[in-house]
Amino acid sequence: MLWGGRFEEKLDKISLEFSSSLNEDIRLIKEEIQCGKAYARMLQKIGILSDTELHQITSALTVIETEWDNNKWTPDPKEFEDIHSAIEFRLYELIGDTAGKLRAGRSRNDQVVTSLRLWIKKSSLELINLLKNLQVSFINQAELNINLIIPGYTHTQQAQPVSLAHYLLAYIEMFERDKERFSAVIKEADNMPLGAGALAGSTLPLDINFLKEKLGFASACGNSMDAVSDRDFVLDFLNSCSIGMMHLSRHCEEIILWSSTEWNFIKIGDAFTTGSSLMPQKKNPDIAELIRGKAARVFANYQSVLTLMKGLPLTYNRDMQEDKPPVFNSYSVYSDSLKLMKGMFDTIKFDNTHLLAQMKKSTILATDGADWLVLKGIPFREAHDIIGKVVKYCLNNSKGLEQLTLAELKDINPVFEESILEVFNLENALTRKQTPASPNPEFVSEQIHNWKKNLMHFS
C-alpha cells in the first residue's frame, strides 16, 4: 500500500478487489515508467536523490518495463490498488528503501493524470494516422470512379444523381474533421499536471519546467487544484471517438444497404462477411453491422464520464478512477473499427449496373428540368409546377424522364424544346453542374488532386 501509517488494520480483501483499478490502469505502465524516470532525474537535479540513487531507480524502472514486456512480471489486482502501488512495490523488491525516495513531492493524484494525458496524446496521434490511412483508401477508390453515376438520396429516397467519387469525398471531409478534433485533443492534453501533488503543490523546490520538457509537454498546468481534477481532455477525447464512430456507423449503414439484393451495388470481400448457420445462400455484412452496433458502446462511454464528473467537488475524488475504462474501451473499439473499415473497404467491388438501369427509368433528373426552365426565363415556382406535371405523366405511364419524346413533353407544355432531351440524358447530368462543390467530374478531379497532395503518408 502507498498509505497505511495511520491505519491499524489492512483493507478488507473484498474492498481491495472492489477498489482496485489495476486491470484498467495497467495500460498506463509505459507512461508511468516514463514519468518515474523523468521525476527521478528532476529529484537528482534538485539534490533529493544522489547520482547513485538516480541510477538505481532508473535502472530498476527499466527492469520493470522489460519484465512487463516479456511477461515476466504481472501484478495481481487482488494485491494492488493500481499500477502506481504495483510499480512501487516492485521497485522496493529490486532496490530496497531507495524506492521510497521517488515518491517525494508527488501524489497518485498528479501521477495518474499526467500518465493519462501522455497516453491520450499518444493514442490521439495513432487515431489520426489510422484516419489518414482510411482517407487514402477512399481517395484511391474515388479516383477510379469519378464518372460512375449513382443516385444521391434525401429521406432515403432517390433525389439527384451524383458520382461515387463525390460520395466518397463527403466521407473524406468527415474523416478530416475527425482528425482535427483529435489534434485539438492533443493540444488540450498537452499541459503537464505533475508537481501539483495531491491538490496544493509542494514545499519541495520541484523543477516543473524540467519535468515539462523531459516529458514533452507544451506547458504546465496553471492551477494545482484544476490540474488534478480536470478531465475535460478525457471528455473531449471520448467525444471525438463518439463522433468518429458515428461517421463510421453512417457509412456502415450504407454498406449494409448497398450489399443487399435489392440494391445490388457492392460486393464485400469474404474476409469481412459471414454466413448463416441455417441458410446456405447467405452472405452477411457482419463487420459493418458490428461497427454500427459498437458505436452505441462508445457513445455510452462518453455519457458515462460526463455523468461521473457532473457532481464532483474540487479536487480529486476516487470516483475519477472510473474515467479510464471508458477511455481505453472507446480507443480500442474505435481504432479496431478504423482498421476493419479500411480492410473491408479495400475489398469492396462496385457495380452500378442495377442502379443505373433504375435511374434511367426514374424521374431523378426532375430538378435539372426545372433549372432548364428557369434559364428560359420561367420563375422557379412555375417551373416546379411544370416539371411536376411531367413527373406525374411519367408515373402514370411507367416511364422515366430519359424515355420521354419531345412530342410527349410538348403535349404537357409547349415551352419544351429539343435541348430538354439532353437535360434528361443521365450521362450528361454530372458535367452540367456549375457549382464547385458539386459532382461535376472536373471539380471532383480537382478535389482528389488536392487531397492527394495534402494527405500525409499518401501512397
Residue numbers annotated as active site:
155, 276
Determine the Cα–Cα distance for residues 41 and 111; give it in Å rounded to an integer: 16
Identify the CA nearest to 321 among candidates 313, 333, 309, 310.
309
| Cell numbers linked to 416 | 419544351
Determine the Cα–Cα distance for residues 405 and 292; give it in Å rounded to an integer: 45
Identify the CA nearest to 242 among candidates 326, 134, 353, 322.
326
| Cell numbers linked to 121 | 496524446
| Cell numbers linked to 16 | 481491495
* Collapsed DSSP state (helix, strand, coil) of residue 141: helix
Q: Which residue has the cell 458502446?
A: 297
Determine the Cα–Cα distance for residues 127 and 240; give it in Å rounded to an integer: 10
CA 79 to chain centre: 35
Is the backbone of residue 47 left (phi > 0), alpha (psi -120 to 50) or beta?
left
Identify the CA nearest to 141 among candidates 255, 229, 14.
255
